[in-house]
């Protein structure tokens, strides 16, 4: 029986420190992912990698495992995650994988997998471990060919996002993989581009490549102010998430970026549907209703987001984390979303004025409560026994989101650390205090953090 550390398989992808995600583990995952693809009737598979120091060897071993399963593998080389999605959808039967640690520290890495056009997560991802432990592998004689997907990706992306006028834009690639293609993309759109930290460097020497953390956007804010740019765009380590800094220096949270896109999309397609994850502000649903559209809360996670996007024919879907996917582009792509922001500005949208016109709520910072047992079991127990006297409804698709007429509370288990993550939001301070009290009572006897 082959050995594999099952903790490698998270909710949405494979991810761990590189002492656990070894080249041998990548090879076995390649054998299992190849088996899944072959048994579904697929023959081709795309593989890309980010700029982490461990990625070339992990990608090589992943490819070896896929090839031994009998697949024709297209080696994309250095590629952002959305470029792998693009290659998989249009070149390899919807099958592909990218070796990437996303926004995690340098000693982490991971693998995101597609099968038949669907991003693999949850039980299907965990089933790869079953195949490995049983050594139940498809066997064949495959092949490997290299493919530079960048030209086709950039051409198609630009064709969908022509700008009405050139813009001055600052992009912060955080030494992630987007440094290899994002500057060229925005220049192709006609922009004057100032690039920050565009050298792909797996040490991430300047700042952590996570665009939803304000501390990581300080340099971008400073350069936007210095240069008088129209906007600043930031990307995570593998290019599937977006951060935005307006010309005034305002950092736009992920759910507010979604609200910007909801306005643009609903102006073009009235009555359309918008998806937001359970972590996002209640302002999203209020805003979409004001604009004449419909919306729904979905489970957090890019796998869930893309699945529901396809099922509902939604115009756009987004998460608080900055994952954003458009119906016409089919997958989450920070560089594509950045182009759509530029398209809005070039057409005359003042981002700051539009943000000021949106519903405004007060909220707590994210609250983390340590737990000594499985967090999902704790949340399930709370959902069964707790009462929320002034609530209007409960959403249980991903943790417990308690809806109120004037706000919401969220109790959710982290998928990566042994904590419950809480979020509170309301129309005013008094409502926030009331919701806080109900949520505090619900999680007792777990202590409420006082800092």
The pair of three-digit structure tokens given for residue 422, joined into one six-digit string: 């809480």
**Helix, strand, or coil (residue 69):** strand
**β-strand pairing of 44-49 with 72-78:** parallel
Q: Which residues pair with 45 in a beta bridge?
A: 73
For residues 305, 309, 310, 315, the Cα torsion angle rounded to the nearest 10 degrees is -160
Distance, first Cα to last Cα, the chain: 48
Can you give the C-alpha Rg of the chain in angstroms?
Answer: 22
**Helix, strand, or coil (residue 23):** helix
Please give the Cα distance from 219 to 202 (Å, whole number).
Answer: 19
Sign of the CA dihedral running 322, 326, 331, 335: negative
The pair of three-digit structure tokens given for residue 138, joined into one six-digit string: 């498809």
Catalytic residue among 16, 55, 102, 321: 102
Nearest to 333 by CA among 38, 112, 125, 143: 112
Instruction: Decide: 244 and 233 in contact? Cβ < 8 Å.
Output: yes
Please confirm, yes or no, whether 414 is among the known catalytic residues.
no
Instruction: Decide: 400 and 412 in contact? Cβ < 8 Å.
Output: yes
Order the strands of the 324-326 sheet from edge to edge: 294-298, 273-277, 316-318, 324-326
Please give the Cα distance from 392 to 402 (Å, whole number).
Answer: 8
Please give the Cα distance from 398 to 200 (Å, whole number).
Answer: 35
Instruction: Decide: 209 and 237 in contact? Cβ < 8 Å.
Output: yes
How far is residue 395 CA from its own chain's centroid? 21
- What are the residue numbers of the active site? 102
């Amino acid at each position: 029986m082959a050995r594999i550390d099952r903790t490698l398989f998270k909710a949405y992808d494979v991810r761990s420190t590189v002492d656990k995600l070894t080249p041998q583990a990548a090879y076995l995952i390649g054998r299992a992912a190849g088996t899944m693809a072959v048994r579904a009737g697929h023959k081709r598979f795309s593989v890309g990698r980010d700029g982490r120091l461990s990625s070339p060897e992990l990608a090589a071993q992943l490819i070896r495992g896929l090839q031994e399963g009998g697949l024709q593998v297209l080696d994309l080389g250095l590629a952002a995650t959305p470029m792998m999605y693009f290659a998989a959808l249009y070149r390899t039967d919807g099958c592909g994988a990218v070796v990437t640690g996303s926004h995690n520290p340098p000693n982490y890495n991971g693998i995101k997998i597609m099968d038949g056009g669907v991003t693999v997560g949850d039980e299907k991802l965990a089933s790869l471990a079953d195949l490995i432990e049983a050594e139940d592998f498809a066997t064949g004689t495959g092949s490997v060919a290299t493919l530079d997907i960048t030209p086709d990706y950039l051409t198609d992306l630009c064709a969908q996002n022509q700008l009405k006028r050139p813009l001055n834009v600052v992009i912060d690639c955080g030494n992630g993989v987007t440094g290899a293609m994002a500057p060229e993309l925005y220049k192709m759109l006609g922009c004057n581009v100032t690039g920050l930290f565009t050298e792909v460097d797996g040490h991430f020497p300047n700042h952590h490549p996570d665009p939803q953390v304000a501390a990581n956007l300080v340099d971008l804010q400073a350069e936007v102010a210095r240069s008088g740019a129209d906007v600043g765009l930031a990307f995570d380590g593998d290019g599937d998430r977006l951060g935005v800094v307006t010309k005034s220096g305002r950092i736009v949270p992920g759910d507010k970026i979604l609200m910007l896109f909801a306005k643009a999309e609903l102006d073009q397609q009235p009555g359309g549907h918008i998806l937001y994850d359970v972590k996002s502000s209640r302002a999203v649903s209020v805003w979409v209703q004001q604009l004449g559209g419909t919306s729904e809360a979905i489970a957090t996670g890019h796998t869930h987001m893309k699945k529901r996007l396809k099922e509902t024919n939604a115009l756009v879907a987004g998460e608080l984390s900055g994952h954003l996917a458009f119906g016409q582009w089919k997958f989450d792509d920070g560089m594509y979303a950045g182009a759509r922001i530029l398209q809005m500005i070039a057409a005359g949208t003042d981002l700051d004025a539009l943000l000021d016109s949106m519903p405004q709520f007060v909220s707590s910072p994210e609250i983390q409560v340590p737990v000594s047992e499985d967090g999902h079991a704790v949340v399930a127990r709370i959902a069964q026994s707790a009462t929320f006297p002034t609530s209007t409804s409960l959403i249980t698709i991903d943790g417990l989101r308690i809806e109120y007429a004037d706000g919401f509370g969220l109790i959710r288990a982290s998928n990566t650390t042994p904590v419950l993550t809480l979020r509170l939001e309301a129309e005013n301070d008094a409502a926030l205090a009331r919701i806080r009290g109900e949520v505090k009572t619900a999680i007792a006897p777990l202590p409420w953090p006082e800092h």
